[in-house]
Structures are given as C-alpha cells and as structure tokens.
C-alpha cells in the first residue's frame, strides 16, 4: 500500500508537469515546503508562493516544448512513521525528442493523515543520485 501511494503521488506529479497543470503540481506539495537546487533555496509558505514558483517552472517547460518526462530510476526509503525519502532520476525531453534536462531529485514526502505530499525537494546533477532501499516504478 505504501509503495502504491508513493507511485500515485509521483504519477500525478509527472503528469501535472507534462500537462503544465499548475493546480495539480501545487497539490503534490505540502505548505510550507522547500525547493533546493545548487543555485538557490526557495521557501514556499503560501499558495501564492507556490503558484509563482511553479508558474515560472511550467513556463520554462512550455518554452522547451516538453514532450515527455521520464523517470529513469526511482527508489524510496521509510525514514519514520510519517516521513519517506524518494530519489528519482529524471530526463526531460523536448519537442525534437532530445533530452534538454537530466538531474536527480531527492524528495522528502510526508504522510499527513493518509495523504502523501512533498515537503522538500533537492535537485542535483545525476552523479549525486542515490539508490535507496526499495525500488519505485510506475
């Protein structure tokens, strides 16, 4: 059941980005949450913060004519009763079928009364990818 809930969360997440669906992307996150890249850390405290940040990301994906988003490798590990660590290696494919972005993302996922939501994501180069204890696929 746990693996199914994580799979469902990340299927929704992946599809929301592919469909440029701001509301659905936002629903995958718990507020407050943090987004971390090598360049910056963003704290999203409100729905307005969330909308602003993800609107920018979705605009970048539209400009790249994103045709597919592929989870190449994914695994997870339970940290506590309510907290899970998930690592996914992503390929973002443009309109010509070429990879325009590839990276690893490490997510902290909170189980809040049976609803799984991302509370933190850390994005890095693929050489920082982790293999956690349980495989995750969809």
Domain residue ranges of the chain, discontinuous segments joined by +:
2-133
pLDDT digits (tens, 9 = 90+) for 9-34: 999 999 999 999 999 999 999 999 99
Q: Sign of dihedral through CA atoms 15, 121, 111, 71? A: positive
Class for the domain spanning 2-133: alpha beta
CA–CA separation, 96 and 67 (whole Å): 8
pLDDT digits (tens, 9 = 90+) for 83-116: 999 999 999 999 999 999 999 999 999 998 899 9
- Predicted model pTM: 0.95
CA–CA separation, 103 and 121 (whole Å): 12
């Amino acid at each position: 059941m746990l693996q199914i809930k994580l799979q469902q969360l990340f299927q929704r997440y992946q599809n929301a980005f592919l469909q440029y669906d701001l509301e659905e992307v936002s629903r995958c996150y718990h507020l407050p949450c943090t987004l971390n890249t090598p360049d910056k850390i963003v704290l999203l405290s409100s729905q307005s913060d969330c909308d602003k940040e993800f609107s920018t990301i979705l605009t970048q994906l539209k400009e790249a004519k994103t045709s597919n988003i592929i989870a190449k490798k994914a695994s997870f590990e339970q940290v506590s009763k309510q907290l899970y660590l998930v690592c996914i290696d992503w390929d973002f494919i443009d309109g010509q079928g070429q990879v325009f972005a590839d990276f690893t993302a490490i997510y902290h996922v909170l189980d809040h009364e049976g609803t799984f939501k991302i509370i933190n994501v850390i994005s890095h180069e693929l050489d920082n990818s982790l293999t956690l204890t349980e495989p995750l696929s969809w």
